[in-house]
Amino acid sequence: MSKPTTNYVDGEWRGSETGETIEVRNPANPDEVVATYPRSDKRDAAAAVDAAATAEAAWRDTPGPERGRILREAGTILDGRKEELTDILVAEEGKARPEAAGEVQRTIDIFHYFAGKASDLAGTRKASSGRDTNLYTRREPVGVAALVTPWNYPIAIPAWKLAPALVSGNTVVLKPASLAPGVVIEVARALDEAGLPDGVLNVVTGPGSTVGDEFITSEGTDLVSFTGSSEVGEMVYEQATGEGKRVQTEMGGKNPTLVTSSADPAEAADIVASGGFGTTGQSCTACSRAVVHEAVHDEFVAELVKRAESIDVGPGHDHEMGPQVSEAELSSTLDYIDVASNEGATLAAGGGVPDGDAVETGHFVEPTVFTEVEPDMRIAQEEVFGPVVGVIEVSDFEEGIAVANDVEYGLSASVVTDDHGEANRFVDAIDAGVVKVNEKTTGLELHVPFGGFKRSSSETWREQGDAGLRFYTIEKTVYDGY
């Protein structure tokens, strides 16, 4: 397994000014140190910003198809290293291997997709009211992009920010999450090998309070893209907009699946279990609330409990559900389970740490189901970020919609129904940026916009596809009277 130990700044692999390091431990076996990375500070971050600013003009002037060629080559290099990247992701973040492999493949697909978009960034020609004027628009890069990315999708989320930023001509400074930075370092390595010019991408590991803060507030950065908690994201938004920067934030979720009276309870349980327990519930789009019509409630609960109890929990390399990423995340999930019980919810499945030699030392938790959850309980209102689903019983479709919308978040939502009219009403009425019919709340196509409502997003700019390119470009209108 590759164990990179340096930052990537101005085309060089270098240590930090502090000389200090961060240990990344295997969440399935915390005694195992997977790798060490620089514990960088503001000096390292400032050097990265300086390098990106210096490289900006030349990269801006590089033809789009050439930028695309480099991204395509980097994607091909990553494709040849899928097994290695998957190993790093499982060891650092803890994902089950099929989930980790899928995330790596998504990253490759993102690079190839945006490489293909590189030739479509020239703008549009418009009809002029004057006979002797050519009227057209140009799409140009904004400048230096500061990217701050999370640990739960440690390669896919950096990729869907990085690829459109680079292909549209911006230079980049990137701070990966300290819990799982290895795969981002490998992305930088692939881009370097593909011929990316020095300074165009700079990756610095270290705390958000130093590296991230410098990236966000520096006069040398022009736009900021952040994914993480709502509490931190709202501070980032305030900081960056206060500096006059273009800002995109994607944050938390409390995502519902509405199960209507026409739904098949077994199918609905499959959908909720996949959305709620997949990736150990550590996804901003994970289903944490099943809002269920009383006519199918009891049968749905029985089916969901059956699925929760059948999940094989253990180290990600050979089990269905891996550990939580850290002791702190596990502790938070167990605290929420205690809160739910104390508030009067009924524990129907899980609720503790699993038994067995394979899970003896890691940050493991059982897939958990609560019933008799009231909409105002904390378990129904606050993001847990673990494999915990609360079931809320409702008497009709309208009450279900009201309960689904009665939270501060609005990222992803789904409905399970056999009535197309109900599906259409749900799409119209739900307050969420991603809406699914008879599908789980998790899982995204890479070529369509992604973002949320309310506290799930700054509600400014969407990510992915053409929407992602719009964030990283600015339009110039040209009146050519020649």
Q: Are 217 and 331 contained in the same domain?
A: no
Decide: 150 and 157 in contact? Cβ < 8 Å.
yes
What is the mean pLDDT of the segment spanning 350-369? 93
2 within domain boundaries? no
- Residues 6 or more apart whose Cβ sits within 8 Å of residue 262: 417, 418, 419, 422
Q: For residue range 139-173, list pLDDT tens digits in order.
A: 999 999 999 999 999 999 999 999 999 999 999 99
449 within domain boundaries? no
Model confidence band, residue 123 (pLDDT cutoffs 50, 70, 90): confident
- Domain limits at 188? 7-251+457-480
448 within domain boundaries? no
Residue 1 has pLDDT above 80, yes or no: no
Q: Are 121 and 264 contained in the same domain?
A: no
Q: For residue range 396-434, list pLDDT tens digits in order.
A: 999 999 999 999 999 999 999 999 999 999 999 999 999
Give how far Cα 417 sits from Cα of 209, 261, 267, 400, 471, Å.
45, 7, 10, 12, 35
Helix (H, G, I), strand (E, B) or coil at 412: strand
Between the CA atoms of 367, 342, 378 and 301, what dihedral angle is there, to the nearest 10 degrees?
A: 40
Q: Are 429 and 464 contained in the same domain?
A: no
42 within domain boundaries? yes
Question: Among this protein's residues, is 284 annotated catalytic?
Answer: yes
Count of the separate structural domains present in the chain: 2
445 within domain boundaries? no
d(CA 450, CA 3): 32
Residue 464 has pLDDT above 60, yes or no: yes
Q: Are 44 and 77 contained in the same domain?
A: yes
Active-site residue, from 166, 271, 284, 334: 284
Q: Are 160 and 227 contained in the same domain?
A: yes
Residue 285 has pLDDT above 70, yes or no: yes
Q: For residue range 71-85, list pLDDT tens digits in order.
A: 999 999 999 999 999
Q: Are 370 and 333 contained in the same domain?
A: yes
What is the mean pLDDT of the segment spanning 274-281? 98
Q: What is the DSSP string of 78-132?
A: HHTTHHHHHHHHHHHH---HHHHHHHHHHHHHHHHHHHHHGGG-S--EE--SSTT
404 within domain boundaries? yes
CATH number of the domain residue 259 falls in: 3.40.309.10
Residue 266 has pLDDT above 50, yes or no: yes
What is the reported pLDDT for 2?
43
Q: What are phi and psi of 273, to 5 degrees?
A: -65, -45
CATH number of the domain residue 152 falls in: 3.40.605.10
pLDDT more than 90, % of the chain: 95
Model confidence band, residue 482 (pLDDT cutoffs 50, 70, 90): confident
Q: Are 315 and 235 contained in the same domain?
A: no
Q: Are 178 and 112 contained in the same domain?
A: yes
d(CA 210, CA 203): 14
What pTM did the predictor assign? 0.95
Q: Are 22 and 148 contained in the same domain?
A: yes
Q: Are 412 and 464 contained in the same domain?
A: no
Cα 358 to chain centroid distance, Å, stands at 29
Q: Are 232 and 366 contained in the same domain?
A: no
- Helix (H) / strand (E) containing 187: helix 182-193
Instruction: Indicate the average pLDDT of the chain.
Output: 96
Decide: 159 and 185 in contact? Cβ < 8 Å.
no
d(CA 64, CA 62): 6
What is the reported pLDDT for 190?
98
What is the reported pLDDT for 5?
73
d(CA 70, CA 27): 34
